[in-house]
Structure 1
Amino acid sequence: MAMGGKADLGLVGLGVMGRSLAANLADHGYRVAGLDLDPGRRAAFAADAASAVPCAGPAELVAALAGPRAVLLMVPAGAPVDAVIADLAPHLAPGDLLVDGGNSHFADTGRRAAAAADRGLLYVGLGVSGGEEGARRGPSLMAGGTEAAVARVAPMLSAIAARAEGEPCFARVGPGGAGHFVKTIHNGIEYADMQLIAEAYFVLRHLGGFSHARLAETFALWNQGELGSYLLEITADILRKTDPETGAPMLDVILDAAGQKGTGHWAATTALELGMPAPTIAEAVHARCLSALKAERVRASRGLAAARPPVPPPAETPDQLAKAVHDALLCGRIATYAQGFAVMRAAAEAFGWDMDLAAVARVWRAGCIIRAKLIDRILDALRGDPTLPNLMLDPGIGLLVARAEPGWRRALVLAAEAGLPVPCTASALSYWDGYRSEKLWANVIQAQRDYFGAHGYRRLDRPDAVVHTDWTRP
């Protein structure tokens, strides 16, 4: 704690997340000096805690801090982060620390950390998950930076983090941009899990004829078992909500066009750049893009849908359908987490990061948006075998999928026969089938590439040599 009336931490950006974190810090005895260009936000910040120190400019903020100083940035990713750093830098001294708590791209964080080091400053890229409530009551915190830099703020971050079995959901996950990379993958998993839950709702609602009340009851029941998660819990709450204006279920008055801020896109494109398959995460991004084409979909529904033959109702009872959809959601979630952790392992190898994937799983147990019962199984798997290349290779997780696989397949067949799009459910199953297939279709692709581009291929009997065939000769 700071002495002599000085603040322990400077905070730039007093929006919802910034003020929530400041209040959390105040609850744990830390004094925060806050800066925002909006005087209304500064006034609201000052009213939140008697210890708050509102500041009107960078010089005033830095002067209010005990040395060596630490400043947390909670501003939008991109150019605003660089602008704030440029404003603060002339007032900082070697040994001072900057912490970027926004959703910055990990490559930008690596660049900024290197530039800060050239000035003698420490830098931490901090992934923060949990939304407004998490920031206020206990978020999941993923820190990237040198051990010395993270250690400087570790007591403070450990104090405000969520708790799981008494442990703070805070960890250093690697150097440089590793913290923001882990947060990016977290958000990619979040995209896919949200889409999978939405697809489960879609099938039960439109194929099974489930009412919103029955869906809420079903999801709440699932939430007590293997599918237990924050996202499923809030979806059950959403299903219970009615529109105060019309009395209709809230979901019936919400436009079916999803928004996004880019982190899911980053997760998918980075996986592609690393050559690591993450098809369900990518499909979740594509699904949001497809949903945004509302006007085109309306036009297509009035034309292309006219040729669709009527589909008879499924032979399954509603309870049997619900069981199949439950199993599809469970397996889809497992495949999604497997993809996300595989991408993180590939990034650690590609970028030379000392990333502890078990620590990542540990901090995702509480506070974050993707917290789920499944993470306990993932943590056990990674503690048992830290070198595990894919979570689906863990015997316990693999057995869980094997048991639920028949229902997964049946749910997908029923959706396809009824013309109901379930892109993430289908993508996850193809990933599972492809990953466990000793032989795939790539021999045809290699032959095609060699035919039109002379790219060469490897033979089964000579795998160390690249050969070429003149495909046009007899």
Structure 2
Amino acid sequence: MQIGMVGLGRMGGNMSERLRAAGHEVVGFDNDPAKSDVADLKALVDALAAPRAVWVMVPHGSPTTATVHALAELLSPGDVVIDGGNSRWTDDLEHANHLGDRGIGFVDVGVSGGVWGRTNGYALMVGGADPDVERLMPIFTALKPEGEFGFVHAGGVGAGHFTKMVHNGIEYGLMQAYAEGYELLAASDVVTDVPAVIKSWRKGTVIQSWLLDLLDRALEADDDLSELRGYAQDSGEGRWTVEAAINHAVPLPVITAALFARFGSRQDDSPAMKVIAALRNQFGGHAVTSAAGSVEKGADAPGADVTPPVG
């Protein structure tokens, strides 16, 4: 097949190379002229034979919306746009309606695989109309891992990104569980070789996974992770997963806690923990550490004359 690829960063660029290796023709456009095959979106559309297929791989939100709207003015009825970024599934419905008014199809694809996808293949979670998805199957087949797994047509428009949203929420929970287990091992006086423990778990255990393999790889490069700062961003999909759970009254305590743990990682000195320290000092006379770093004993703390409730 012939396909246009908009966005040639870490994901879009590697996906384009995997498609080319499978024999497909990819015409790429990126804001970086050094990466592009064409000068602009119009030139990309002009380089494709009708009916055209254009894959959008740019950051979610306004960049994706702007690209979809620009393509809507350039493409023709019968063409199809694929959004493979991490868009919110509700945006998919708006994009599909905007393009559908012009007779242009829309398919949303949740893509997992990261920088390893070019070699190992990408897991694809697809939403869209049956004819559009069927037409694009040669592209999906080239991108997915070999074998029967790694691809699902999850439903209509929005189903692909909704599925990827839940996938990423699960990822949050798994990563947090590994992180907490690692911290407990490292804090123990009993375990003397934490990296060796992680490595031993990679085979034959019920918690073996690709994420565990990646943790082992990270520890091989930095055995106590001292070169890293304990700070973790969130892509947005964890938040959307929790919001969807609230809207559907589905309890997600693990995923929600994992999301909040990432928020906590961004605090150098947690305001909530300051309150906890202050309260422990007030009611129990527990020692507290001042902002200057000195340790103060409790008993003479401000507010010590407050009369406790009776009963």
TM-score tier, shorter chain, comes to 0.7 to 0.9
Whether 2:186 is the aligned partner of 1:233: answer no
Pairs within 5 Å for 1:453-472: none
- Given that 1:238 and 1:250 are in contact with CA atoms closer than 8 Å, whether structure 2 keeps it comes out as no
Match of 1:172 among 115, 139, 153: 153
**Matches of 2:34 and 2:269, distance apart in 1:** 39
Whether 2:200 is the aligned partner of 1:217: answer no
Pairs within 5 Å for 1:52-451: 54-163=37-146, 166-211=147-192, 214-225=193-204, 226-242=206-222, 249=223, 251-296=225-270, 300=274, 307=286
**Which of 1 and 2 has higher RCO (CA within 8 Å, sep 6+)?**
1
- Given that 1:216 and 1:237 are in contact with CA atoms closer than 8 Å, whether structure 2 keeps it comes out as no
Structure 1 letter corresponding to 2:196? E
TM-superposed deviation, 1:41:
2.5
**Matches of 1:283 and 1:302, distance apart in 2:** 19
Name the SS of the counterpart of 1:62 in structure 2. Answer: helix
TM-superposed deviation, 1:301:
11
- Given that 1:101 and 1:126 are in contact with CA atoms closer than 8 Å, whether structure 2 keeps it comes out as yes
**Matches of 2:79 and 2:238, distance apart in 1:** 32
Name the SS of the counterpart of 2:136 in structure 1. Answer: helix
**Matches of 2:156 and 2:165, distance apart in 1:** 15
**Matches of 1:257 and 1:298, distance apart in 2:** 17
Name the SS of the counterpart of 2:69 in structure 1. Answer: helix
Name 1:27's counterpart in structure 2.
Answer: 21
**Matches of 2:77 and 2:198, distance apart in 1:** 53
After superposition, the C-alpha distances for 1:126-166 in whole angstroms (9 at most, x for unaligned) are 00001011145301000000111111111211122113xx2
Structure 2 letter corresponding to 1:138? G
Unmatched runs of 5 consecutive residues or more in structure 2: 288-311
**Matches of 2:102 and 2:172, distance apart in 1:** 38
**Matches of 1:135 and 1:181, distance apart in 2:** 24
**Matches of 1:111 and 1:235, distance apart in 2:** 39
Relative to structure 1, is the Cα distance of residues 300 and 252 closer, same or farther in structure 2, using a 3 angstrom cutoff? farther
- Given that 1:105 and 1:180 are in contact with CA atoms closer than 8 Å, whether structure 2 keeps it comes out as yes
**Matches of 2:34 and 2:275, distance apart in 1:** 47
Name the SS of the counterpart of 1:33 in structure 2. Answer: strand
TM-superposed deviation, 1:68:
0.8
Whether 2:9 is the aligned partner of 1:12: answer no
**Matches of 1:11 and 1:257, distance apart in 2:** 33
- Given that 2:72 and 2:104 are in contact with CA atoms closer than 8 Å, whether structure 1 keeps it comes out as no
**Matches of 2:182 and 2:226, distance apart in 1:** 13
TM-score between the two structures when normalised by the length of structure 1: 0.56
**Matches of 1:176 and 1:302, distance apart in 2:** 47
Name the SS of the counterpart of 2:100 in structure 1. Answer: helix
Name 1:419's counterpart in structure 2.
Answer: none
After superposition, the C-alpha distances for 1:396-428 in whole angstroms (9 at most, x for unaligned) are xxxxxxxxxxxxxxxxxxxxxxxxxxxxxxxxx
**Matches of 1:220 and 1:176, distance apart in 2:** 41
**Matches of 2:76 and 2:40, distance apart in 1:** 17
TM-superposed deviation, 1:303:
5.2
**Matches of 1:68 and 1:145, distance apart in 2:** 17
Unmatched runs of 5 consecutive residues or more in structure 1: 2-7, 43-53, 243-248, 309-474
After superposition, the C-alpha distances for 1:243-277 in whole angstroms (9 at most, x for unaligned) are xxxxxx45123222221121111111111111111
Structure 2 letter corresponding to 1:84? T
Structure 1 letter corresponding to 2:10? V
Name 2:300's counterpart in structure 1.
Answer: none
- Given that 2:231 and 2:266 are in contact with CA atoms closer than 8 Å, whether structure 1 keeps it comes out as yes
**Matches of 2:243 and 2:166, distance apart in 1:** 11
- Comparing 90-99 with 108-117, greater Cα deviation is found at 108-117
Structure whose residues are more often helix by fraction = 1
Match of 1:37 among 31, 48, 62: 31
Name the SS of the counterpart of 2:270 in structure 1. Answer: helix
Name the SS of the counterpart of 2:87 in structure 1. Answer: coil
Residue identity (%): 37
